[in-house]
Amino acid sequence: MDTKDIKSKFPIFRNKVNGKQLVYLDSANSSQKPKTVIDRISKFYSKEFSNVGRSVHSLAVTATNRFEETRDLMQKYVNAKSREEIVFTKNATEAINLVASTYGEKFIESGDEILITELEHHANYVPWHFIREKKGAIIKFAKCNERGEVDIDEIKKLVTNKTKIIAVTHISNVTGAIMPIKKIVDLASQKKIPVLVDGCQGAPHVKVDMQELGCDFYAISCHKMYGPTGVGILYAKKKWLDILPPYQGGGGMIDQVNKDNISFPGSPTKYEAGTLQTAEVVGFSESIKFIEDVGIKNIMKHEKEILEYGLEKIKKNNSVKIIGEPKNRGSIISFTIKGIHPHDIATILDEDGVAIRAGHHCCQILHDKMGLAASARASLGIYNSKEDIDILSNAIKKCNKIFNN
Amino acid sequence: MDTKDIKSKFPIFRNKVNGKQLVYLDSANSSQKPKTVIDRISKFYSKEFSNVGRSVHSLAVTATNRFEETRDLMQKYVNAKSREEIVFTKNATEAINLVASTYGEKFIESGDEILITELEHHANYVPWHFIREKKGAIIKFAKCNERGEVDIDEIKKLVTNKTKIIAVTHISNVTGAIMPIKKIVDLASQKKIPVLVDGCQGAPHVKVDMQELGCDFYAISCHKMYGPTGVGILYAKKKWLDILPPYQGGGGMIDQVNKDNISFPGSPTKYEAGTLQTAEVVGFSESIKFIEDVGIKNIMKHEKEILEYGLEKIKKNNSVKIIGEPKNRGSIISFTIKGIHPHDIATILDEDGVAIRAGHHCCQILHDKMGLAASARASLGIYNSKEDIDILSNAIKKCNKIFNN
Amino acid sequence: MDIKELYQEIILDHGKNPRNKNICKDFNKDAKGHNPLCGDKVHIYLKLDNEKKLANISFEGEGCAISMASASIMTEIIKGKEFNVAKKIQEDFLNMIKKGSKLSMNSLSDTENTTMMSLSGVKRFPMRVKCATLAWHTFLEAVKGSKKIVNTEN
Amino acid sequence: MDIKELYQEIILDHGKNPRNKNICKDFNKDAKGHNPLCGDKVHIYLKLDNEKKLANISFEGEGCAISMASASIMTEIIKGKEFNVAKKIQEDFLNMIKKGSKLSMNSLSDTENTTMMSLSGVKRFPMRVKCATLAWHTFLEAVKGSKKIVNTEN
Ligand SMILES: Cc1ncc(COP(=O)(O)O)c(C=O)c1O
Ligand SMILES: Cc1ncc(COP(=O)(O)O)c(C=O)c1O
């Protein structure tokens, strides 16, 4: 893949950071946006803007059609059975809160168990914590092994007759471990336990096929998929959306309203209260087109190449310790450097235009377990090249020079 | 005010609709966006984009600062006591859901009363309906009088010792009635009842001063304030944000996380879970600047002039009936035409490039009361001129010609 | 696109003087339809006899000219026909409105054809398609005997 | 902006060999501070005697070089001083870091001045300001005897 060509499609790379060329290695946090996405939003506001679905005039018709086209594109992208299974949310966090809140409210009772893993992002723990508090439920944490993975056997061990949901990440945003989702779904479906997958690090980087994965819920953040901020997606099997109660209430999600009672339409309408992120959803259609133009297989191949090159190169530096050694790894390299706090690393790298993340990456449980307060993380996107890795590697050497000389 | 000049700042007006100049009279639904806002979003994505608050690198620093500047601007715009009282949400609907859910969960018990009005938008009824269902609470509806207003005496009559919250709109999005918020707050504060104001039709059109209004909560939709879609604002007095529980859970809104428990930081952090609408919030800063450049007083004066001209002109058409006759009216004219369904009106107007809304405008209770299934609504924005009203008026005549000839 | 294409005389006439707008006494099936966005409502009553013929059909409801005219036209055209034929007509109608296809039925009289065709202008007004199709969807639900309210949102 | 401005020798030294990093036995006040974004933690222990003098001060914690150096430098400089003087130093420090002001105290020794000034580079690294100020905020909370954890997010 010609990364020069790809990079040229992202306006951000035309800028300098601290006088240096930008080496963006923070895509797991949020990805940059191609010009087509940025321009689509501008064009929409400049030529087509109107609120969606509520007015009869021509602008509203256009806006509604453009908006709903994104739902169709997304249905195809994740291979959902029907467009009604795609619900627009604010971000993946809201998607998971929606499920935890509605499913938890209806199906989780005192003493019931919620099974998550030590790898989970706070987005896939805090919402369940609320249900734990509200319902007196129990959260069980499947242990992460020394490779930074969660074994299917570990999950099997923890499933009981009280398990009401299994909520796991698709790919760890710290160790990069790709979870055995299909196996988990197989296991769970024997006991009729629904499975929620936090797909934040999955959807932008690997092929995501709902019919193949078989999970009940899949949460996505569009801003990590080269899309606008402010949009997330919840994929949910229709059977769930049909029986779960509504989440937020307001305009657009009602059927009949009177003073004593309110009835609701079907999904996805029931879950889309108020004015949605019209322009952002329309803009996101260009992100999906962009990914599909490059081809998810090409993306996977390219990122794997850069990942392996990066792991190799970084490992050579003796003072660097890479976190986790999963058999299947997504496009993430978290690491520590002996004697240097990750924040200091990030600051020094930034001087060379290298943007990485330092912190617990919203995974305090995992960091506690590893005995770390924080780590440094380089994460890849479609636009990264081997040259980026070389610059990263040199910047890491500089850290050592400043601190360990 | 020179509306030609103002219109020229909104790119949408350079386009034709059905071959006609666009006459946009649907701003109560969503307003158009000035070029400065559209360009700010493009620039942000092209030159400054990064996730907010989570990374140490330079882009993240810039993004965080730009994002937080909007909070400062908004604090000033509504004259909040501190920036911590401004919480970013997805839309006004989410802002009201946040309050209904957290306040309702904590303070509303079986038999308690929630006092709203017959004028409320579904966004300020459905969330309370959920609490009614969950807690066995009672919703009381203050009646709207024949002028399309809710009298302060009507509210006084309905307040009891069981009233736990009063939730009212600032300006009706159907009759345009401006509610006596200060009087309601005075009344409520004697009984220590908090007041939530649905400010959707207030914030873009009239001076909004939290210290003057004195309400506890005020909900805003930025897309009606010439801002991007996907952003809303909840103003809440700090004393409430301090004691109410969190709403959605996820990254960025936690303090300490361990397997048994989670602690939360103060507001607004506690209420801003996950990746926010970074670009949209940054873009919104330009909307506030735009409104302040024109001056809210000039906006009020201008809209009042167009409103009065419009009421006068439309009333002259014998077959038209204007809905409501409030003493204080916001920039809204809802109407019906004898023998013509509002949807047919909207379609015929659209042929002439006139965008209005037809339907129940998310106010089924009010429409039921008025014995209408739907109404037509023309709503004003900063860019409307007397000429727009003339075109509207001619298009209304055309409706009569087609239907009543 | 001329607005007169949408509001043809036939439609305005049916809109103002709807045929079969009542609750027919002999109905044995009925269903309700609702378009929550605009508030259009329709309630279809019909008598399906033992030979699967639509012995009677009528409607009640309120809504825009398009939805009322469409319900009126539908009842006029399918009343007295076999259910199978009526179903074909319904499919034909939906294809015309949604895809702009020509009517394929050749068992309709010229007047019936002209009357149905008067609604063809709707296809150029996407927001109004739901108004035109509400009664026709609801008719099918009535025959099915389903209890759920037809909701054009879904 | 040279990175060496931030990571001056004095800071690296204090970061690697922090002074007063222990729990001083005679403390009568303490407070915790936390920077949830990066996980920096600090726990300040101090002895405030009857004359409102900081008879002793120490800290425990973990975090980046900046936060550890800042805590170390703070304890070194204010130990043994009157609380009122220490409070002035704290204000001076915050103004230096946040607004880039010069130090206004003239009661500090040259070494103390140089040591404090070594942290002045932080002001050009906005994301690191919280690291540098955490210990100083926490010190004030300790004196106040407040039980709440200082959270640099708020
Ligand atoms: C009075 C009123 N309240 C609430 C809303 C809901 O706003 P949003 O859809 O942006 O959440 C609107 C607008 O649709 C409104 O006019
Ligand atoms: C694994 C994982 N889950 C959830 C999230 C939360 O996504 P968002 O903040 O967009 O809701 C992230 C990213 O921050 C993530 O990496």
pLDDT digit string, tens, across residues A46-103: 999 987 766 677 888 888 889 999 999 999 999 999 999 999 999 999 999 999 999 9
Whether A198 and A51 map to the same domain: the answer is: yes
Burial of D148 (0-12, 13-18, 19+ CB in 10 A): exposed
Q: Whose CA is nearest to atom 13 of ligand 2?
A: A29
DSSP letter, residue D88: H
Ligand nearest to the CA of A123: 2
The pLDDT value recorded for residue A53 is: 66
ipTM for the complex shown? 0.93
- For chains B and D, CB pairs below 8 A equal 28
Please work out whether the CB of residue A92 comes within 6 Å of at least one atom of ligand 2.
Answer: yes
Whether B211 and B338 map to the same domain: the answer is: no
Tokens of B48: 């400054």
Q: Is the pLDDT of residue D154 over 50?
A: no
Whether B189 and B338 map to the same domain: the answer is: no
Whether A210 and A331 map to the same domain: the answer is: no
pTM for the predicted model, two decimal places: 0.95
What CATH number did the domain enclosing B392 receive? 3.90.1150.10
What CATH number did the domain enclosing A70 receive? 3.40.640.10
Whether A288 and A299 map to the same domain: the answer is: no
Whether A78 and A226 map to the same domain: the answer is: yes
Contact assignment for B266 to D154 by CB distance below 8 Å:
yes
Q: Is the pLDDT of residue D20 over 60?
A: yes
The pLDDT value recorded for residue B61 is: 82
Whether B78 and B11 map to the same domain: the answer is: no
Which of A249, A274, A292 corresponds to the end of one domain? A292
Instruction: Give the pLDDT confidence of A94-113 residue by residue, as tens digits.
Output: 999 999 999 999 999 999 99
For chain C, which residues lie within 8 Å of any Cβ of chain B, measuring from their own Cβ?
A: 1-4, 6-7, 12, 16, 37-41, 62-66, 125, 127-128, 131
Chain B contact for A32 (CB, 8 A cutoff): yes
Domain assignment present for residue B196? The answer is yes
Partner residue facing D64 (CB), from A344, A360, A402: A344
DSSP letter, residue B207: -
Nearest chain D Cα distance for residue A119, angstroms: 18
Q: Identify which of C53, C40, C116, C47 has the alpha carbon closest to the alpha carbon of residue C86.
A: C53
Q: Which of residues 313-342 of A touch D (CB under 8 A)?
A: 339-342
| pLDDT category of residue C34 using cuts at 50, 70 and 90 | confident
Find residue A344's DSSP bridge partners: none
Find residue A354's DSSP bridge partners: A23
Domain assignment present for residue A58? The answer is yes
Q: What is the pLDDT along chain B (405 residues), one digit of tens a residue?
A: 787 899 999 999 999 888 899 999 999 999 999 999 999 999 999 999 987 766 677 888 888 889 999 999 999 999 999 999 999 999 999 999 999 999 999 999 999 999 999 999 999 999 999 999 999 999 999 999 999 999 999 999 999 999 999 999 999 999 999 999 999 999 999 999 999 999 999 999 999 999 999 999 999 999 999 999 999 999 999 999 999 999 999 999 998 899 999 999 999 999 999 999 999 999 999 999 999 999 999 999 999 999 999 999 999 999 999 999 999 999 999 999 999 999 999 999 999 999 999 999 999 999 999 999 899 999 999 999 999 999 999 999 999 999 977
The pLDDT value recorded for residue C154 is: 39
The pLDDT value recorded for residue B53 is: 66
Domain assignment present for residue A32? The answer is no
CA distance D91 to D42: 19
CA distance D133 to D138: 9
CA distance B376 to B28: 12
Q: Which of A144, A215, A362, A363 is catalytic?
A: A362
* Sign for the pseudo-dihedral over CA of A218, A222, A223, A226: positive
Residue whose pair of structure tokens reads 């040591």 in the numeric block: D115
Instruction: Give the pLDDT confidence of C62-95 residue by residue, as tens digits.
Output: 999 999 999 999 999 999 999 999 999 999 999 9
DSSP letter, residue B48: I
Whether A287 and A299 map to the same domain: the answer is: no
Interface test with D, best of B56, B258, B263, B264 (most D CBs within 10 A): B56
Domain assignment present for residue B379? The answer is yes
Q: Which residue of A has its CA nearest to D131?
A: A343
What three-state secondary structure class fits B72?
helix
The pLDDT value recorded for residue C12 is: 94
Domain assignment present for residue A359? The answer is yes
| pLDDT (mean) for C18-22 | 96
Ligand nearest to the CA of A26: 2
Domain assignment present for residue A33? The answer is no
| pLDDT category of residue D3 using cuts at 50, 70 and 90 | confident
Domain assignment present for residue B32? The answer is no
Q: Do chains D and C touch (3 or more CB pairs under 8 A)?
A: no
Tokens of B155: 């509210």
Whether A347 and A213 map to the same domain: the answer is: no
CB within 8 A of B100, min separation 6: which ones?
A249, B127, B128, B130, B131, B167
Tokens of A366: 């995992």
Domains and CATH numbers, chain D: 3-143 (3.90.1010.10)
Contact assignment for A93 to B274 by CB distance below 8 Å:
yes
Burial of A343 (0-12, 13-18, 19+ CB in 10 A): buried
Give chain B's count of helices (H) and strands (E): 14, 15
CA distance C55 to C46: 8
Ligand nearest to the CA of A251: 1
| pLDDT category of residue D152 using cuts at 50, 70 and 90 | low
DSSP letter, residue A85: G
Which of A269, A292, A315 corresponds to the end of one domain? A292
Q: Which of residues 6-25 of A touch B (CB under 8 A)?
A: 11-12, 14-15, 17-18, 22, 24
CA distance C140 to C91: 10
The pLDDT value recorded for residue A17 is: 82
Whether B150 and B251 map to the same domain: the answer is: yes
The series of mean pLDDT values per 10 residues for chain A, 405 residues long, is 89 91 96 98 94 76 90 98 98 98 98 98 98 98 97 97 98 98 98 98 97 98 98 98 97 93 94 96 98 96 98 94 97 96 94 93 96 95 97 96 85
Range of the domain at A244: 38-292
Contact assignment for B359 to C37 by CB distance below 8 Å:
yes
The pLDDT value recorded for residue A254 is: 92
Whether A89 and A135 map to the same domain: the answer is: yes
CA B399 to chain centre: 30
Instruction: Give the pLDDT confidence of B189-242 residue by residue, as tens digits.
Output: 999 999 999 999 999 999 999 999 999 999 999 999 999 999 999 999 999 999
Burial of A308 (0-12, 13-18, 19+ CB in 10 A): exposed
Domain assignment present for residue B215? The answer is yes
CA distance A254 to C114: 37
CA distance D107 to D109: 7
- For chains A and C, CB pairs below 8 A equal 28
Question: Dihedrals φ, ψ of B185, to 5°?
Answer: -65, -40
Q: What is the dihedral of CA B48, B49, B53, B55, to 10 degrees?
A: -100
The pLDDT value recorded for residue C133 is: 95
Q: Which residues of B are catalytic?
A: 362
**Three-class SS of chain C:** CCHHHHCCHHHHHHHHCCCCECCCCCCCEEEEEEECCCCEEEEEEEEECCCCEEEEEEEEEECCHHHHHHHHHHHHHHCCCEHHHHHHHHHHHHHHHHHCCCCCCCCCCHHHHHHHHCCHHHHHCHHHHHHHHHHHHHHHHHHHCCCCCEECCC
Whether B194 and B284 map to the same domain: the answer is: yes
Chain B contact for A125 (CB, 8 A cutoff): yes
**Number of independent structural domains in chain B:** 2
Which of B270, B292, B314 corresponds to the end of one domain? B292
Please work out whether the CB of residue B274 comes within 6 Å of at least one atom of ligand 2.
Answer: yes
